[in-house]
Structure 1
Amino acid sequence: MQIRDLPFPDPGVPDARSGPRFLVWLGRRQLRGQIRCLLWGTLHMAGVGLLPVAVGIAVEAVVDGSGGRLALAGALITVLGVMTALGDTMLHRTAVTNWITAAARVQQLLALKSAEMGAALTRRVAAGEITAVSTGDVEKIGWFVEALSRFAAAAIAAVGVCVALVVYQPELGRLVALGLPVLALVVLPLLPRATKRADEQREKAGRATELASDTVAGLRVLRGIGGEELFLARYRRASQEVRTAAVRSARMWALIAAVQVVLPGLLLIAVVWYGVGLAREGRVSVGELVTVYGAVTFLLYPLRHFEEIAMAYSFSRPSAQRAARVLSLRRTTTADPAELDCPTAELKGDLYDPASGLLAPAGELTVVVCGDPDAAGRLADRLGGHAVKGPDEEGAPSVLLGGAALDALPLESARAAVLVQDKDPVLLSGTLTELLDVPSSGAVSQDDALAAAQCGDVLEALAQAAPDASGDPRAARITERGRSLSGGQRQRLALARSLVTDPEVLVLDEPTSAVDSHTEARIADGLRRLRAGRTTVVFASSPLLLDRADRVVFVPEGEVAAVGRHRDLMRGDAAYRAVVTRETEDEQRQWKPVEAELADRKPKDLEEIKNLEEIEESA
């Protein structure tokens, strides 16, 4: 795999059971690149490792006065220099390629997972953590994958040099062979503490990133309530905590680096001291001593790779764990559409959720009252067939559309049949024409959708911002996430975009929470008119929407508690009335005598029904 071939046609299915398993999977996916890097690294290490041999031959030639051997040593040094330069160049090229391709694979997997999960992803994983995984964690994972093959080459070279030294000069070679493993393993007791401090630093950095992300997202609200300084002070404290944790982590890694410098230096001193004694006794020649000294000096280079791989693994393991956590989230296992009772192209009928008992009849406007906004968001995701599930979660029964299980459909088919608009829809930057240029049935025009969503004032504002004198609002550019518009304007444009799509089932989560009551009433009428004959499910507690619904479903604790028309539920269900009217306990107690009176009386004509409604309104 070359960088020019990115992105991957298929990044593969990751092993997301744990961080280490994910790292192993990444390494196996890049096995060819790892082998190339290992071979070039071995060539480079061999060139550097054999250089002391050539220098020793040259010293012996000078001592003996042999010009032929000196020329041979010079030629050998030249060949080893070319081999070292070639190996180092290609090692760097292949290592960087492995790093970039590993990081690109992880980023591509995360992007695909984000597209698959949609807005439901942030309900399970904090936005700050997703940002950290997609940026800093990706680089750390790529670093470990890249460093692994270089470490393997360094280990092969170190073992080879130790064996060669034992054969070449047994007395000095045994000293080096015994001392090198000690130097490589002496830092192991320090690694757990260094890893713990590094984890603390990353955890604090993730919290700071999440706080910064939330502050930027809510900057307009913070300015409105004067809370900028409060959140700025919080971010300052979080930033200082990150700095302190980074310093503590750096101190531990500095200690490890110092150990890796001091102990090899002591080994080198011991070898030279012992070798000088042997040379004085005539048991080794000067050339052999120079060769052993050069070999020990070379061994300090592979030892640095031992430190690097330990550091790379310590930093990449929690990063891989976070990436694996995100990648392990799943919609569900998809099945072949041919095995379904209902073909994908004929997904029509009632929408039914067995877990909650919620039924949305085909062609009707159903408004769902939950009371808990988070529960409403989760239920809306379930109705779309793409709620996020963790690897250890037992999946609830699938939502059915016309008898077909949405969770068993390919994601594209499920989303084409059921469109879910969450309570905080995103407007991408671009013109209004580009915003409304979405896949659709063609039955609903952009003008009709804009009119139903009451976007008249939005069009006027965009017309004033049009780049030319024509005043065409469709040519005006909408800034990132629609920040140039108010919350209500963004909400109505998002609703218009959903209406243009005209899916078989449209699920709206609080589509009018940011608009005034008069606009909300007109939107309710427009929605009912434009979606006539289509299944529409709205999560809301607004009486204006509830009063226009064909069917109201009350789901207070994750299960359907009552079904009926809004007026009937207001009259007969105290829990429903408390959620819709936001009654206090005292107000609920005031209703009890009226409920008792309504239960005892049996209206005999329209006039008496009217009187009952007046009693209800006065209460």
Structure 2
Amino acid sequence: MLSLHQATEAAVPVAIGVFVDRAVTTGRIEPLLWCVLMMVVLFAVLSNAWKTGARQVVWAIEYETHLLRLEIAQRVLDPRGHRTGLRSGELLSIATSDAEKAALVMRGLSVGAAACTALIVSSVSLLLVDVPLGLGVLIGVPLLVLGIQALSPLLTRRTSSQQEAVAQTTALATDLVAGLRTLRGIGAQHNAAARYRHSSQDTLRATLRAASTNGLQDGVTTALSGLLLAAVAGVAGWFALHGRITIGELITVVGLAQFVAEPVGTLGYASQIFARARASAARLSAVLSSPPQTVTGTATSLDPAKPLLTLEGVSHGTLSSLTLVLQPGESVGVLCYDPRDADALLTVLAGRAPEHTGTVLIGGTTLEELDVDLLRRTVLLERHETDLFEGTLRTNLLAEKRLERVMTAAGAADLIEELDRPLADRGQALSGGQRQRLGLARALLAEPPLLVLHDPSTAVDAVTEELLAEGLADERTGRTTLVLTSSPALLGKMDRVVVIADGTVVAEGIHSDLASSDAGYQEAVLR
């Protein structure tokens, strides 16, 4: 439709030339009426083609942007993870700004095709009027377009640099907003502001470099198209003075020469769109094609006769040939003298350590062979950091059955009466202990066969910690629980405790025995 619009636009000066030669110079009424009717039809087609084509282009851009954002969101939220190495703010910038710029290729393609149509119609019309004039346009326009394209690689590079700088600044802003309380607590808000100011200035410089290249391309396009227009108009005027072409043909040539500047400028604009879209598409492609962190298979069932969790000679990070077995329904506490051992163990259990050595079995099936959906239903890993969403406490828990019982088990009985309390983004109005207990309650409500908890009581007082330990003991029926903690209240409720030092198991037993006989255990736990 946009090509039809440009074709009819190019036909306007041709129609005016015919109007002058057939009606104005002859003074006849009948040709005049036919010319008026022709102009009415021409402009009706012209306006409706533009209206329809422009609407379809906008629809296509918005729809494609939406699909790209869904693809990025699906990739980022993939339970297998991703290896992009990008922070949340950078991914947010790619899902918003880059998706929008990449989808603009729809506009570049459509207006570029329309501009080519306009140039073809104009060139053919000029050839019909005078062959040398037509050849001049046919040769001059491609040379002009090639000259404009010479700046596209530079614009692509500078646009890519600009988008990267914007993404880094967005990521930094996201991190600073999330950690504002901490920054104020340690008095580092001024340093953080200076760091953001420096990043923002880098982004400004990158944006100005991209804008200067864009402006240079616009200026070159306007100047060269103006020179082409002047050359064509001058030659046509000379031909008219010597009777080689009629007055109507002169008007047609001058009108087409003026019109040609528009599609040439449009081709320059389309070139800029393609350059920006190419840079953004490369960033989108990097995320969409990034390999998953977790390697998963297709196994969709577990062997109920096998231990629910088995680690055989697992080495990853600081772990060294770690062996650990959990039977169904068993509660096991793990005390790591080195916090790095706990982090490495959690990474392995989350399936985010494909380079580990040894074997990790879930219900007798290796972690790599399990279907990702079965793995997520079987193993729930709740770290002590909790993500809460805007809404209410109740909507963050997404359950009604057993809600009060689970809230009590998580040591959050004091929040039962506030379930309909509105929450700000990330639950910023709640204390760290309240967020932690809500995360634990949410994990208990999920009822996973294997629940892995990492320091679930680090942000609560001793009384609440004791209530939480008792609640977990009451709620563990039929569930296998692995708790990485140094809390004596929690370890005292476990069926057994495994002690890890230097990446391997060095002691195992019940809490009371270890506390009375192991000096290292006493130093790490008793307080």
TM-score category by the smaller chain? 0.7 to 0.9
Aligned partner of 1:365 among 331, 336, 340: 331
Which of 324, 328, 353 is the equivalent residue of 2:285? 324
The aligned residue for residue 152 of structure 1 is 113
Equivalent runs, 1:63-462 vs 2, <5 Å: 63-117=25-79, 124-329=85-290, 330=292, 340=300, 342=302, 349-352=307-310, 356=315, 359-362=324-327, 363-368=329-334, 380=346, 382-384=348-350, 387=352, 399-405=360-366, 408-438=369-399, 445-459=402-416
1:251-306 CA-to-partner distances (Å, cap 9, x unmatched) read 11111001110000000111111122222222222222221222222222222332
Q: Deviations over 1:448-504 (max 9, x none)?
A: 322222224445xxxxxxxxxxxx333333333221111111001110121122210
Inter-CA distance 543–322: structure 2 relative to 1 (3 Å threshold): farther
Q: Please give the secondary structure, in 2, of the residue aligned with 1:326.
A: helix
The amino acid of 1:474's aligned partner reads L
- C-alpha contact 2:7 2:117 (8 A) present in aligned 1: no
Residue identity opposite 1:493 in structure 2: L
With over 3 angstroms needed to count, the CA separation of the structure-2 counterparts of 1:328 and 1:512, relative to structure 1, is farther
Looking at structure 1, the residues matched to 90 and 519 of structure 2 have their Cα atoms a distance apart, in angstroms, of: 54
Report the alpha carbon displacement of residue 564 of structure 1 after superposing the two structures with TM. 3.7
Separation in 2, partners of 1:320, 1:341: 39
Alpha-carbon separation, structure 2, partners of 1:220 and 1:455? 23
- Work out the CA distance in 2 between the residues paired with 1:45 and 1:395: 62
Confirm or deny: 8 A CA contact 1:331 1:407 kept in the other structure.
no
Distance 1:236 1:420 in 2: 37
Counterpart of 1:242 in structure 2: which amino acid?
T
Structure 1 residues 237 and 436: CA distance shift in structure 2, 3 A: same
Please give the alpha-carbon distance, in whole angstroms, between the structure 2 residues aligned to 1:500 and 1:67. 87
Structure 1 residue 60, shift from structure 2 partner: 1.6
Per the alignment, residue 530 of structure 1 pairs with 475
What SS does the corresponding residue of 1:424 show, helix, strand or coil?
coil
**Root-mean-square deviation (CA), in Å?**
3.5
**1:363-412 deviations in Å (ceiling 9; x for gaps):** 22334566786885675365345x498xxxx8989853212355555544
Deviation string 1:566-599 (CA, Å, 9 cap, x unpaired) is 789x99xxxxxxxxxxxxxxxxxxxxxxxxxxxx
Distance (whole Å) between structure 1 residues aligned to residue 338 and residue 261 of structure 2: 62
- Identify which of 551, 556, 561 aligns with 2:504: 561
1:418–1:504 contact (8 Å) kept in structure 2: yes
> In the alignment, residue 419 of structure 2 is paired with which amino acid?
R
* 62-71 or 148-157, which deviates more: 62-71
Report the AA paired with residue 496 of structure 1.
A
Distance 1:317 1:54, change over 3 A: same
Q: Which moved more, 1:68-77 or 1:102-111?
A: 68-77
Residue equivalent to 2:319: none
Tell me which residue corresponds to 2:318: none
2-structure distance, mates of 1:526, 1:41: 68
Partner residue of 2:7 out of 31, 35, 46: 46
Distance 1:388 1:155 in 2: 53
Asked if the contact 2:89–2:171 (Cα under 8 Å) also holds between the matched residues in 1, the reply is: yes
Question: 1:125/1:520 Cα in 2 relative to 1: closer, same or farther (>3 Å)?
Answer: farther
Q: Secondary structure at the match of 2:482?
A: strand
CA 1:68–1:426: 2 relative to 1, 3 Å: same
Work out the CA distance in 2 between the residues paired with 1:348 and 1:293: 87
How big is the shift at 1:532? 4.3
> Per the alignment, do residues 395 and 320 of structure 1 end up closer, same or farther by CA in structure 2, a change over 3 Å counting?
farther
Matched position secondary structure for 2:119: helix
Letter in 2 for 1:364: E
User: 1:115, 1:131 → 2: CA distance?
Assistant: 12
Residues 48 and 84 of structure 1 are in contact (CA less than 8 Å); yes or no, is this contact kept in structure 2? Answer: yes
* Alignment CA distance shift 1:293-1:539 (3 Å): farther
For residues 177 and 615 of structure 1, what CA distance do their matches in structure 2 show?
A: 87
Give 1:43 shift: 1.2
Contact 1:381 1:420 in 2 (8 A): no
Q: Distance in 2 between matches of 1:142 and 1:502?
A: 42
- Does residue 483 in structure 1 map to residue 428 in structure 2? yes
Take 1:498 and 1:341, find their aligned partners in 2: how far apart are those partners?
A: 22
Distance (whole Å) between structure 2 residues aligned to residue 334 and residue 491 of structure 1: 30
Segment of structure 1 superposing worse, 400-409 or 82-91: 400-409
